[in-house]
């Protein structure tokens, strides 16, 4: 035992899951490893069908993985599924997660009880959860009668009522309108900080991830393709992405010459002017590109650093440009 | 106003990883409360279920009386058969509600996506399921009592209701129904479209309850519920006391019920494992 070392709250190693076998085998989770520090909110980003939900369920052992270890605060729970549930809870995507015929408060009491915690000793805490999620007036209303946003808040509140140090939230803002999504995010951030919870949050909504997470993992076809600080990813693209306007219509030959050497996108020729976005490895490459344009006899009408958002990063990474990203990162 | 209770944040913000005490009693209370709340919210369903069985009984009762009148017999001659029919319906309702409630609720929770939440309990799903069945047993016994009272009032018959004798027999019947219920629910986790089978089960229970009248003793002892049906009939129509039912037969009934429970647990566990492998624990 080395008490000086801070143990990761969650440590996933070599997680693998294949459905079916032979020619029809589908690799849903392909050798995924990552860890989450205590108090961290980790974003799990990926297109639909990338394997986020299966990955989460494999970690929770709701789906039995083919291989892989899960450690929580340094302890391996591979052979002790039930004991692991003292430390983790989850809101799963597409599931109801709560009992719609029961009221908000009844649900909180039930899930605390299911966790082995007497709800009578947690009235104040449940009051706090109800209040923070803005459900005070609906505390005695059956979940059935609440809006989608409120239902989702109840599900998240019930996960908190289990009082586990680690929470998995699979697409918690899916299907919510902007306002509901915003208030849920806000409360989530506050609660996680106040109660020192570690959260793994999956989403395909960049805003949600950028708003809540310090670090993000991008999953594609069951694999982790990016594992980095959100700020790093943003900065990376901010310095290397440019929008270029040319005074005159550039031909296909020019385009081909550019595409051979640089990452070009959004090529448009309109009203005798051509504009496109370019991603370059460094400033030197930008000059190289301008040289190509000069040798083609095209005049620059404008050049500006484009503001990429996480969505762009995400799209580029997942649309097979991960090679380009890696090169840029070097 | 916050209460004087221990501030939960202290517990929640303890050193990460410190185990939350997982009290079995809290799980038991949670399951019991949920059962009561659901009964109240689904009061209409509960009532419909009661009325269904009662109406079916009325059809059989008046139908039989009509036939007896038609062939020239007197309604009084039907007495013994009628008593047996009342006991049969009473047992049928109990078996049916225990069995179908369990199988339906597991299937339903898998479909809606609450089953996975139930699975994630630190005490283990088995304890949660045990408390769930224990609490529904209590409510099912009460409802069966209501049905019994209604049938006795309608027919004007009197039966021996000696609780010392019939409660143990009813618990054996319930255990049998839950055992089979778990097996069916397990199969439902893997082979999804099983609703039809569940409907069919009501006739299987009816046949098993009626079997003692048609089949020889040793066969009856091997069938689920049949022996309990015979013993309950004797206890209620002839007033036989528990200890006079015969040690051998009682032992056989206990072993039979235990076998059903073991079968249910084994089948359910295997199917649950299979469902976890194929990722079909949830069907939403």
pLDDT of residue A124: 92
CA–CA dist B42, B7 (Å, integer): 35
pTM of the model: 0.80
| pLDDT (mean) for A143-156 | 94
How crowded is residue B177: how many other Cβ atoms within 10 Å of its Cβ? Answer: 31
Nearest CA distance, A74 vs chain B (angstrom): 9
pLDDT of residue B122: 94
DSSP string, A77-90: -TT-HHHHTTTEEE
ipTM: 0.83
Q: Which residues of A touch B12 (CB under 8 A)?
A: 125, 163, 195-197
B25-65: per-residue pLDDT in tens? Answer: 999 999 999 999 998 888 888 888 888 888 988 888 887 66
- Interface contact flag, A90 B41, Cβ < 8 Å: no
CA–CA dist A41, A216 (Å, integer): 9
Scanning the structure block, which residue is given the tokens 């009272």? B149
What are the structure tokens assigned to B123, written together?
Answer: 């005490």
How far separated are the first and last CA of chain B, in Å rounded? Answer: 40
CATH number of A235-329: 3.30.70.80
Question: Do residues A33 and A67 lie in contact, with contact meaning Cβ atoms separated by under 8 Å?
Answer: no
Select the more confidently predicted residue: A145 or B54: A145
Q: Which residues of B touch A87 (CB under 8 A)?
A: 17, 19
| pLDDT (mean) for A5-26 | 87
A208-217: per-residue pLDDT in tens? Answer: 888 899 899 9
**Confidence category of residue B258, pLDDT binned at 50, 70, 90:** very high
Bridge-partner residues for A217, per DSSP? A44, A227
| Helix (H), strand (E) at residue A45 | strand A41-45
Mutate one of A15, A65, A82 to test the B interface: name it (highest B CB count within 10 A): A82
Question: Do residues B261 and B99 lie in contact, with contact meaning Cβ atoms separated by under 8 Å?
Answer: no
| Residue B22 predicted with pLDDT over 70 | no
B206-228: per-residue pLDDT in tens? Answer: 899 988 888 888 888 899 999 99
**Range name among A191-195, B19-23, B26-30, B54-58 with the lowest pLDDT average:** B19-23
DSSP string, A92-146: -TTS--S-TTSBHHHHHHHHHHHTT--GGGGHHHHHHHHHHTT-GGGTTSBGGGS
Strands of the sheet with A67-72, listed across from one edge: A26-36, A10-19, A67-72, A75-76
Note the residue count of chain B.
284
CA–CA dist A166, A168 (Å, integer): 7
Q: Does B281 touch chain A (CB under 8 A)?
A: yes
Closest CA to A255 of A298, A302, A316, A318: A298
Helical spans, DSSP H, in B71-194? 79-112, 115-119, 125-155, 163-190
CA–CA dist A154, A143 (Å, integer): 8
| Helix (H), strand (E) at residue A50 | none
Regarding the domain delimited by A10-230, which CATH topology (the fold level of the hierarchy) does it fall under?
A: Rossmann fold (3.40.50)
Per DSSP, chain B holds a count of helices (H) and strands (E) of 11, 0
**Confidence category of residue A161, pLDDT binned at 50, 70, 90:** very high
Closest CA to A303 of A281, A277, A324, A280: A277
**Confidence category of residue B7, pLDDT binned at 50, 70, 90:** very low
pLDDT of residue A178: 86
What are the structure tokens assigned to B19, written together?
Answer: 């185990």
Closest CA to A105 of A132, A140, A134, A144: A140
| Selected residues 11-40 of chain B with any CB under 8 Å from a CB in chain A | 11-13, 16-17, 19-27, 29-31, 33-34, 37-38
A251-281: per-residue pLDDT in tens? Answer: 888 899 888 888 788 888 888 889 998 877 6
CA–CA dist A69, A154 (Å, integer): 31
Facing A116 at nearest CB: one of B21, B276, B279: B21
Chain region(s) in chain A for CATH 3.40.50.300: 10-230
pLDDT of residue B8: 39
| pLDDT (mean) for B253-267 | 96
Judging by beta carbons within 10 Å of its beta carbon (0-12, 13-18, 19+), is residue B62 exposed, middle or buried? exposed
Facing A116 at nearest CB: one of B12, B27, B117: B27
What are the structure tokens assigned to A98, written together?
Answer: 């709560």
pLDDT of residue A322: 46
**Confidence category of residue B10, pLDDT binned at 50, 70, 90:** very low
Scanning the structure block, which residue is given the tokens 């309108």? A177
CA–CA dist B98, B174 (Å, integer): 6
Select the more confidently predicted residue: A49 or A187: A187
Facing B8 at nearest CB: one of A19, A100, A125: A125
Chain region(s) in chain A for CATH 3.30.70.80: 235-329
CA–CA dist A13, B56 (Å, integer): 59
pLDDT of residue B17: 38
Facing B37 at nearest CB: one of A64, A72, A106: A106
How far separated are the first and last CA of chain A, in Å rounded? Answer: 37
CA–CA dist A165, B226 (Å, integer): 51
pLDDT of residue B52: 85
% of chain A surpassing 70 pLDDT: 89
Average pLDDT of chain B is 84
Least CA distance to B22: which residue of chain A? Answer: A116
What are the structure tokens assigned to B68, written together?
Answer: 């007896």
- Interface contact flag, B116 A92, Cβ < 8 Å: yes
CA–CA dist A192, A132 (Å, integer): 12
Question: Do residues A36 and A42 lie in contact, with contact meaning Cβ atoms separated by under 8 Å?
Answer: yes
In this structure, what DSSP letter does residue A248 have? B
**Confidence category of residue B3, pLDDT binned at 50, 70, 90:** very low
| Residue A55 predicted with pLDDT over 90 | yes
pLDDT of residue A204: 78
Closest CA to A113 of B25, B8, B97: B25
Question: Do residues B237 and B159 lie in contact, with contact meaning Cβ atoms separated by under 8 Å?
Answer: yes
What are the structure tokens assigned to A200, written together?
Answer: 């793994």
| Residue B19 predicted with pLDDT over 70 | no
Q: Which residues of B touch A19 (CB under 8 A)?
A: 278-279
Scanning the structure block, which residue is given the tokens 């995010």? A185
Q: Which residues of A touch B3 (CB under 8 A)?
A: 123-124
Average pLDDT of chain A is 86
Taken in order A231, A237, A240, A246, is the CA torsion positive or negative?
negative
Judging by beta carbons within 10 Å of its beta carbon (0-12, 13-18, 19+), is residue B253 exposed, middle or buried? buried
Q: Which residues of A touch B8 (CB under 8 A)?
A: 121-122, 124-125, 128, 163
Q: Does B72 touch chain A (CB under 8 A)?
A: no
- Interface contact flag, B113 A82, Cβ < 8 Å: no
Q: Does A95 touch chain B (CB under 8 A)?
A: yes
CA–CA dist A79, A28 (Å, integer): 22
| pLDDT (mean) for A228-244 | 75
DSSP string, A272-313: TEEEEEEE-SSHHHHHHHHHHHHHTT-EEEEEEE----HHHH
| pLDDT (mean) for B68-92 | 70
| Residue A122 predicted with pLDDT over 60 | yes
Select the more confidently predicted residue: A239 or A132: A132
């Amino acid at each position: 035992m080395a008490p000086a070392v801070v143990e990761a709250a969650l440590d996933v190693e070599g997680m693998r899951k294949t459905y079916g076998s032979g020619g029809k085998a589908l690799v849903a989770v392909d050798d995924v490893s990552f860890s989450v520090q205590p108090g961290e909110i980790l974003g799990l980003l990926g297109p639909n069908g990338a394997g986020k939900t299966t990955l989460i369920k494999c970690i929770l052992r709701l789906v039995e993985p083919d291989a892989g270890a899960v450690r929580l605060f340094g302890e391996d729970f591979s052979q002790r599924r039930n004991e692991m549930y003292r430390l983790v809870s989850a809101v799963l995507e597409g599931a109801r997660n709560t009992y719609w015929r029961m009221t908000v408060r009844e649900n909180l009491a039930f899930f605390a009880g299911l966790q082995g915690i007497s709800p009578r000793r947690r009235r104040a805490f449940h009051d706090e959860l109800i209040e923070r999620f803005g459900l005070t007036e609906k505390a005695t209303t059956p979940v059935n009668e609440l809006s989608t946003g409120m239902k989702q808040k109840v599900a998240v509140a019930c996960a908190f009522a289990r009082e586990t140090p680690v929470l998995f939230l699979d697409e918690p803002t899916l299907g919510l309108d902007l306002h509901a999504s915003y208030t849920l995010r806000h409360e989530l951030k506050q609660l996680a900080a106040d109660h020192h919870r570690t959260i793994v949050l999956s989403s395909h909504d960049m805003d949600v991830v950028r708003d809540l997470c310090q670090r993000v993992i991008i999953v594609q076809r069951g694999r982790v393709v990016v594992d980095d600080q959100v700020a790093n990813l943003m900065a990376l693209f901010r310095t290397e992405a440019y929008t270029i306007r040319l005074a005159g219509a550039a031909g296909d030959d020019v385009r081909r010459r550019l595409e051979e050497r640089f990452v070009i996108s959004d090529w448009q020729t309109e009203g005798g002017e051509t504009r496109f976005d370019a991603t370059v490895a460094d400033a030197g490459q930008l000059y190289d590109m301008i040289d190509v344009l000069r040798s083609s006899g095209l005049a620059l009408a404008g050049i500006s650093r484009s503001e990429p958002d996480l969505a762009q990063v995400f799209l580029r990474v997942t649309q097979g440009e991960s090679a380009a990203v890696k090169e840029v990162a070097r | 106003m916050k209460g004087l209770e221990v501030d939960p944040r202290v517990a929640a913000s303890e050193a990460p990883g410190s185990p939350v005490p997982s009290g079995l009693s809290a799980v038991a209370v949670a399951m019991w409360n949920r059962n009561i709340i659901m009964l109240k919210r689904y009061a209409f369903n509960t009532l419909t279920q009661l009325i269904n069985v009662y109406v079916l009984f009325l059809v059989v009762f008046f139908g039989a009386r009509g036939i007896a009148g038609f062939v020239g017999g007197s309604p009084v001659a039907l007495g013994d058969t009628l008593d047996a029919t009342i006991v049969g319906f009473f047992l049928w309702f109990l078996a049916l509600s225990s069995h179908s409630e369990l199988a339906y609720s597991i299937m339903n929770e898998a479909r809606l996506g609450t089953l996975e939440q139930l699975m994630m309990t630190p005490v283990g799903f088995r304890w949660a399921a045990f408390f769930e069945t224990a609490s529904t047993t209590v409510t099912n016994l009460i409802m069966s009592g209501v049905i019994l009272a209604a049938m006795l009032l309608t027919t004007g018959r009197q039966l021996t209701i000696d609780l010392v004798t019939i409660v143990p027999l009813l618990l054996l019947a319930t255990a049998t129904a839950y055992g089979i219920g778990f097996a069916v629910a397990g199969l439902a986790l893997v082979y999804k479209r099983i609703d039809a089978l569940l409907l069919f089960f009501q006739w299987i229970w009816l046949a098993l309850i009626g079997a003692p009248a048609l089949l020889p003793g040793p066969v009856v002892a091997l069938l689920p519920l049949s022996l309990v049906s015979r013993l309950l009939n004797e206890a209620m129509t002839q007033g036989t006391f528990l200890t006079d039912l015969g040690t051998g037969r009682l032992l056989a009934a206990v072993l039979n019920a235990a076998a059903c429970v073991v079968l249910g647990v084994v089948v359910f566990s295997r199917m649950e494992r299979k469902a976890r492998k194929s990722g079909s624990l949830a069907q939403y």
